[in-house]
Amino acid sequence: MKTSLNLQSITIVLTGATGGLGTALAKALSAQGALLVLCGRNYIQLEQLNNALGGQHHCVASDLTTSSGRQAVVAYCQQFSRGIDALINNAASNHFGPLKAMNEITVQQMLVTNLLVPIELTRLLLPILAKSDNAQIINIGSAFSRLGFPGFSVYSACKFGLRGFTEAMRRELADTTITVRLFAPRTISTAMNDDNVTAMNKALGNQSDSVESVAEQFVNFFQKNHQSEQFLGWPERFFGWLNSINSRWIDQGLAKKLPVIQRYWTGVTK
pLDDT for the residue numbered 2: 47
Query: pLDDT digits over 16-74, tens only?
Result: 999 999 999 999 999 999 999 999 999 999 999 999 999 999 999 999 999 999 999 99
Model confidence at 269, pLDDT cuts 50, 70, 90, reads very low
CA distance linking residue 223 with residue 4, whole number of Å: 5
CA distances from 223 to 163, 165, 176, 186, 226 (A): 20, 22, 19, 21, 9
Buried b / exposed e along 108-120 (16+ C-beta atoms within 10 A):
eebbbbbbbbbeb
Q: What is the pLDDT of residue 245?
A: 83
Residues 6+ apart with CB under 8 A from 206: 186, 187, 200
Whether residue 38 contacts residue 50, with contact meaning beta carbons closer than 8 Å, is answered with: yes
* 76 has catalytic annotation: no
Its pTM surpasses 0.85: yes
Torsions phi, psi for 26 (to 5 deg): -60, -45
Structural domains for the chain:
11-263 (3.40.50.720)
Tell me: pLDDT of 146 over 90: yes
Q: Residue 3 above 80 pLDDT?
A: no
Mean pLDDT, residues 151-158 taken together: 96
Give the percent of the chain with pLDDT over 70. Answer: 97
User: Model confidence over 176-190: pLDDT tens digits?
Assistant: 999 999 999 988 887
- Report the pLDDT averaged over residues 116-144: 96
Distance between CA 128 and CA 80 in Å, rounded?
A: 8
With beta carbons less than 8 A apart as the criterion, state whether 29 and 219 touch: yes
Rg, the chain, Cα only: 18
Catalytic residue among 43, 76, 155, 264: 155
